[in-house]
Amino acid sequence: MSIYQKIVADIIEGIETHRYKRGQKLPSIRQLSKEYGCSKDTVQKAMLELKYQHRIYAVEKSGYYILEDQDFQDRTVELNPEDFQQLPYEDFRSCLTESLLGRENYLFNHYHQQEGLEELRISLQGLLADYAVYTKKDQLVITAGSQQALYILSQMNFGEGRTDILLESPTYHRMQDLVERQGLPFQTIERTFEGIDLQELEAIFQTGKIKFFYTIPRLHNPLGASYDLASLKKIIELAERYQVYLVEDDYLADFDAQKHLPLHYLDTAGRVIYIKSFTPTLFPALRLGGIALPQELLSPFLQYKSLIDYDTNLIMQKALSLYIDNGMFARNTRHLVTMGQEEESQMRKLLTASHLDLAVRFTPHGMILEIPHQHPIPVPLVEGVRCYKGKQFNYLVLQLPNNHSQAIQSFLTKLSKKES
């Protein structure tokens, strides 16, 4: 066994025998080279191998740290949803600590960057590539959550006569609230499990009134449906033909098992504004998001942003950059996906037991049933059930709250009886 292999094996053994704990700092490269009687390059090669195996992570100007210890791996095997809520918090807290260590000069002498911390924009650029979103770092802006990005877009001028925002119906409730509470002119187009009426979309675009079309192409909120490739291509074609911008909210990209292509991937004319939120994979209190803008919209967007905040929280930006770069974001996302699959399995069992013959979609947050208008819906709705009314169908969104599976099952049974 070579010295390089021995270093790797010794550290893995230390992790598996509980000698190294999660978040513990490893001895420095200099210390390890003395301990093993080898060059620093040999130690560095071992560190890179351990990093590739997701055993450790690096913190700039600090050193290498243990990513997962054996206790953590054992504990996550039988993890329940309540316990998991702590994991992103604990990981992010360690990144916050690391973002403060030895950075006094950075914190007190940093000149503001309206577009966001460069390190985070570089991290985000790499992360977005995993979603088939290929953008330049200089076209990325960090915002205080996706809601800030949407607010700024709602205020911007998109050309003479372009006064209306186009929304899918139903849509993300916060976007609906945003336009309604500001009294902004908007139009809607119905979204179903099958998508939207593309002829109706063209007719709306033809009016020349649309500022932008806000859409959630994959894992739609609240429907859980995704556009097929033909629809995506047609939407892009219409946007180019009628010079309409598309605001693509891709908040559940991390959970898209089928890896649908985003609109941004198909856009060759710079008509797509892409928004990514970190809330679904972290926690709501982390008010950070990213937006990829066409070049011509970058300057006006930053001008509006400067009126709202001088700088998006720099410490949180640095911590999030560390969180992405050291593999914690990817690892915790994998755990969330696994939990979502288990919840979907439970929902499917409840649906099978109820013998309902309805169209259904699943998301990480629950199950969505498409209900024909003539089908009665039991009232009152139980905890974990919401209803959205559309022109063609009503939609029931069922979440599986803790210890309420019996209530959901009872509701589905009542719904099944009304169907028959």
pLDDT in tens, the chain (420 residues): 889 899 999 999 998 888 888 778 899 999 999 999 999 999 999 998 888 777 887 776 678 888 765 554 444 444 444 444 555 667 777 787 777 765 555 555 555 678 998 889 999 999 999 899 999 999 999 998 899 999 999 999 999 999 999 999 999 999 999 999 999 999 999 999 999 999 999 999 999 999 999 999 999 999 999 999 999 999 999 999 999 999 999 988 888 888 899 999 999 999 999 999 887 777 666 788 999 999 999 999 999 998 888 777 788 888 888 888 878 888 888 888 888 888 888 888 888 888 888 899 988 778 899 988 888 887 777 777 888 888 889 899 887 655 556 777 788 887 877 665
| C-alpha closest to that of 335 among 38, 135, 75 | 75
User: Rounded to an integer, what distance in angstroms lies between the CA atom of residue 271 and that of residue 49?
Assistant: 41
Q: Which CATH class is domain 3-78?
A: mainly alpha
Shared fold status for 3-78 and 339-419: no
Question: How far is it, in rounded angstroms, from Cα 253 to Cα 280?
Answer: 10
| Alpha carbons 137 and 119: distance in angstroms, whole number | 10
Q: What are phi and psi of 210, to 5 degrees?
A: -85, 120
Q: Which CATH number fits domain 106-325: 3.40.50.2020, 3.40.640.10, 3.30.300.280, 2.60.40.10?
A: 3.40.640.10
Cα separation, 295 vs 41, in Å, equals 42
Q: Which of 15, 67, 3, 1 is nearest to 40 (CA)?
A: 3
pLDDT at position 23, please? 74
Sign of the alpha-carbon dihedral angle for 281, 286, 287, 292: negative
Structure tokens given for 123: 């991290």
**220, 210 Cβ separation under 8 angstroms:** no
pLDDT at residue 403, rounded to an integer: 52
In what side-by-side order are the strands of the sheet with 359-363?
Answer: 359-363, 366-372, 393-398, 385-389
Query: Please, are residues 212 and 166 in contact by the beta-carbon 8 Å criterion?
Result: yes
What is the residue-wise DSSP string for 73-97? Answer: HHHHHT--HHHHTHHHHHHHHHHHH
Q: Is residue 273 within a helix (H) or strand (E), and if so which, with residue range?
A: strand 272-277
pLDDT at 180: 96
0.85 cut: is pTM over it? no
Provide the residue ranges of all domains of the chain, joining segments of one domain with +.
3-78, 106-325, 339-419
| pLDDT recorded at residue 419 | 60
- CATH number for domain 339-419, candidates 3.90.1150, 3.40.50, 1.20.1280, 1.10.3470: 3.90.1150
Tokens of 358: 């309805």
- DSSP string of 33-66, one letter each residue: HHHHT--HHHHHHHHHHHHHTTSEEEETTTEEEE
Give the Cα separation of 91 and 242 in Å (integer).
Answer: 46
